[in-house]
Amino acid sequence: MEVIETKEALTQALQHCRDSRISIGFVPTMGALHPGHISLVERCRKENGVVVVSIFVNPTQFNDQSDLANYPRTLEEDLYKLSSAGCDYVFAPSVEEMYPEEDTRVFDFGMLDKVMEGAYRPGHFNGVAQIVSRLFDAVQPDKAYFGEKDFQQLAIIRRMVAMMNDPIRIVGCPIVREADGLAMSSRNMRLTPEQRKNALEIAHTLLACREKIGCVPLGELKKWVVDRINHTPGLRTEYFDIVDRDSLQPVSEYKENALQACIAVYAGAVRLIDNIRL
């Protein structure tokens, strides 16, 4: 496995793939890798001739500067995990390398980024689109892998690729959960044991919501979910919504197989997201 820090060196390293038509699979990450990331790398390994993983904590997608400052950085451990998972190239550029000048592009995702994460983290998805488009330019992958835990991000990336007429195939991969059900996240390592225990209520409540769907009016069900989370010590719901899986717009009526329940919850100062297909 080779660690590369510049776009130029990456282009050179991947030239043999383009010359010999070896497929390039790409997993963009911000590091602090957990088994959820590794499942993306393993799938990428199975489906491509060469695997590239980027590690870059992207400043333009953080609307909260303390969140950026506190984001875990664990490069040495990440490299060890990636090498064991069969990664070929790690692209770990500096901020200056990715943004030699300020990126002033503004993406128009219509209503897709006006709800949920987009509504509560202004500018977040614009920053995600800025960095992912730059990473796609640098890697020029055939396929790129994203986790469904960031359900809205996945929809935004699909839309961005369609808007830019990019031939990259975007592959969405299922959420990986801890044995007890908590969705894996780099932020979980910031939870105290007490918060970690309480946070489990998020996954349990989403599962219970799925059991109730179709039996209870949606408005009542949404209220039930928020009340149950907010009555758990130390948890505070930022948003909970039941949305159409494609448009991500909130729905008021049950539609079979077309809905996703999405939630953001604070466990103390740690912001966690999760979702489930209903």
Residues 212-251 that bind ligand PAF (CB under 6 A): none
Site for ligand PAF in 153-182 (CB under 6 A): 153
Map tokens 């510049």 to a residue. 6
- For ligand PAF, give the closer residue by CB, 55 or 229: 55
Q: CA triplet 236, 264, 39: central angle to 5 degrees?
A: 130
Contact 148, 156 (CB under 8 A): no
Interface with ligand PAF: number of residues (CB under 6 A): 10
**Active site members:** 37
| DSSP calls for 129-158 | HHHHHHHHHHH--SEEEEETTSHHHHHHHH
Any contact of residue 25 with ligand PAF (CB under 6 A)? Answer: no
Q: Is 29 or 237 the residue whose CB approaches ligand PAF more closely?
A: 29
State which amino acid sits at residue 5: E
Is 267 a binding residue for ligand PAF by CB under 6 A? The answer is: no
The answer to whether 128 contacts ligand PAF (rule: CB under 6 A) is yes
Residue selected from 32, 82, 90, 131 as contacting ligand PAF according to rule CB under 6 A? 131
- From CA 83, how far away is CA 66, in angstroms rounded? 31
Query: Residue 61 or 205: which CB sits closer to ligand PAF?
Result: 61
Near ligand PAF by CB under 6 A: residue from 29, 130, 198, 205: 29
| Cβ partners under 8 Å of residue 223, min gap 6 | none
Exactly one of 30, 173, 263, 267 binds ligand PAF (CB under 6 A); that residue is: 30
Nearer to ligand PAF, 55 or 259 (CB): 55
Distance CA 6, CA 194 (A): 42
Residues numbered 44 to 103 that lie near ligand PAF (CB under 6 A) are: 58, 61
Site for ligand PAF in 195-214 (CB under 6 A): none
DSSP H or E segment with residue 167: none
**Would you call 24 helix, strand, or coil by DSSP?**
strand
Burial of 178 (0-12, 13-18, 19+ CB in 10 A): middle
Site for ligand PAF, rule CB under 6 A? 28-30, 58, 61, 128, 131-132, 150, 153
